[in-house]
Chain A
Amino acid sequence: GAVVSQHPSWVICKSGTSVKIECRSLDFQATTMFWYRQFPKQSLMLMATSNEGSKATYEQGVEKDKFLINHASLTLSTLTVTSAHPEDSSFYICSARGASGEKIYEQYFGPGTRLTVT
């Protein structure tokens, strides 16, 4: 149980275009999902917290208009990188929090998406 998928696993896009990354909880309902960014040989950096049916909460320094997050259902959150630039190239990881009880302390991670902007 507690499987999270991400699509695509790898995407290359041209500078100035937008790209959408999907995060799905496959066997449970996730009211809260998280988006992380990871640079090579570094730790995960939380970008935003996504709550179903409401606006995402962004961490300080993360541009809301560049990284659009939508959590329209209990099993799907999307991250859209708008007007992508080469500096947006990175590894993006989503996770979903457990729904209730002690599970709310845990997060289940997707396999990540490697974004390359040319």
Chain B
Amino acid sequence: AQTVTQSQPEMSVQEAETVTLSCTYDTSESDYYLFWYKQPPSRQMILVIRQEAYKQQNATENRFSVNFQKAAKSFSLKISDSQLGDAAMYFCAYSGRGMLTFGGGTRLMVKP
């Protein structure tokens, strides 16, 4: 079975600074996707970024980027120029053909 671990229950960042959220996973599959979801106080799950395992290039979406280390099974999220609206729960998720396995989440606080 796949497992996803987020070792940082809480993180804090100063507005406009950069923060990195960690995620590791365990799998024996070769084809899979990895995701970072944001869950703000509204509790709507919002897709932040996705990474296809077969792609070596790290995914980037505006201020959000990932560091995907396939051999190490590591998938960290970097948020640049942090904004107050980035404050939320962030979940790392693994997908093997559509079944999502979530990490425990990291609560990100942004200080003005």
Q: Which residues of A contact B (CB under 8 A)?
A: 32, 34, 38, 41-44, 46, 49, 91, 93, 95, 97-98, 102, 104-107, 109, 111-112
Complex Cα–Cα for A38 and B104 (A): 11
Interface SS of chain A: helix, strand, loop or mixed?
strand
A-side contacts of B35, CB under 8 Å: 106
Would A106 and B95 count as touching, CB distance under 8 A? yes
Given the known inter-chain contacts A111-B42, A112-B43, please indicate yes or no for A105 contacting B91, CB distance below 8 A: no
Would A111 and B43 count as touching, CB distance under 8 A? yes
B-side contacts of A38, CB under 8 Å: 43
Would A43 and B103 count as touching, CB distance under 8 A? yes
Q: How many residues of B contact A (CB 8 A)?
A: 23
Would A105 and B43 count as touching, CB distance under 8 A? no
Q: Which of A44, A93, A97: most chain B Cβ within 10 A?
A: A44
Contact of A105 among B37, B42, B95, B105 (CB under 8 A): B95
Given the known inter-chain contacts A43-B91, A43-B103, A43-B104, please indicate yes or no for A105 contacting B45, CB distance below 8 A: no
Min C-beta distance of A82 to chain B, whole Å: 24
Would A97 and B98 count as touching, CB distance under 8 A? yes
Is B16 located at the chain interface by the 8 A CB criterion? no
B-side contacts of A111, CB under 8 Å: 42-44
Given the known inter-chain contacts A32-B98, A43-B91, A43-B105, please indicate yes or no for A102 contacting B44, CB distance below 8 A: no
Min C-beta distance of A6 to chain B, whole Å: 10
Min C-beta distance of B1 to chain A, whole Å: 11
Instruction: Give the 5 A-B CB pairs with smallest separation, nearest first.
Output: A109-B45, A105-B33, A105-B95, A97-B98, A43-B102
Is B11 located at the chain interface by the 8 A CB criterion? no
